[in-house]
Amino acid sequence: MTRSLFSPLALGRVELPNRIAVSPMAQYSSDADGCASDWHLAHLGQLCYSGAGLLMTEATAVEPAGRGSLRCLGLYGDAQEQALARVVAFCKQWGSARVGVQLSHAGRKASIRPPWAGRGPLPPEEGGWQPLAPSALAGDAGAPVPQALDEQGIARIRQAFVDAAARAARTGFDVVELHAAHGYLLHQFLSPLSNQRGDAYGGSAAGRMRLPLEIAEQVRAALPADRALGVRISASDWAEGGFGLDDAVALAGALKEIGCDYVCVSSGGLVGHQRISVGPGYQVPFAAAVRERTGIATRAVGLISRPEQADAIVRSGEADFVALGRAMLDDPRWGWHAADALGGQVPYPKQYERAASKVWPGARPAR
């Protein structure tokens, strides 16, 4: 069968009905304990029938100190698990998308205000806390200096990822994705710009990869065999001396050997002095290179917005599937409209079938 945006994709034992994914997108709308709110029910609920084959939650912290802000989502206790289970159950009852969770720890990017409040550091009097990192290095001028993790702290966080993955499986998620990009903690361990440790978790490339690989291996072992495991990785820090494409290829190859089913290839977000060259599909060549050199399934991201663009990425073999973020916020029925534009098919909820172009004459003029 010719690959297209609308052909199915197997990630391990999880089959996606098509190759469209909704990217993880931070909402800064949980309660103060990191529990999913009615906003998450409405946000993810509307996107579960967008026509996408995979719906990802936002970065979801594995411990309270791993949240980006006080209102970031978490999965580290019974209350957080129960709140997310409500959302997942809704999405799986009414939508056609497989549902995934992105497990994360913000590291030195933790304890900030939300974007609409300026993103600055959250002071202790407003509930802020001490950020953690592999080394006591601030990510940008004016940012707080994080506390360097000792081996006990590393062990605690490693177990927190494993525990959160077990909670994700109980909650009903089909896919678990580890966040090792965008300057979050696992990315901080990977990059020589943020990891200047002299122990077994630093120094060489192998040392810097050690914690992310340990977590991936232990999470894979903790997950049922019928759940897929992926990792979001970075292919460039966009800064001299940083983590680069060859590093990403080495990491992806090691993740494949562990049993990871895919990598999502992104870039940037680690340091304030990065110099990114941004344009439509600017990160797709990274995904293509990782896929070609390792054979692992890849997801492409980064200013992908048009159906023709997304379909071309899949048909050309640059990536196995694509993820869209802001394009989905702008058009929560992106998958429907892409199918109309390209002559493909995506599932509609029965309640909305009357709006399909094959039965509604007004569909094409409206779109």
Q: Does the active-site annotation cover 184?
A: yes
Nearest to 83 by CA among 41, 45, 26, 23: 41
Which whole-number Å values give the CA distances from 253 to 159, 230, 291, 318, in the listed order?
Answer: 23, 13, 10, 17
- Amino acid code (one letter) for 239: A
CB atoms within 10 A of CB 267: 25
Q: Calculate ∠ Cα 18-170-98, nearest 5°.
A: 10
What distance in Å separates the CA atoms of residue 236 and residue 242, rounded to the nearest whole number? 7
> Is residue 195 within 8 Å of 208, Cβ to Cβ?
yes
For residue 39, list its beta bridge partners: none
Catalytic residue among 184, 201, 262, 348: 184
Nearest Cα to Cα of residue 301 among 43, 8, 6, 54: 54
Local structure of 271: helix, strand or coil: coil
Site of tokens 């941004």: 278
d(CA 104, CA 109): 11
Contact 323, 22 (CB under 8 A): yes
Task: Assess contact for 135 and 197: CB atoms under 8 A.
Answer: yes
| Residues with catalytic function | 184
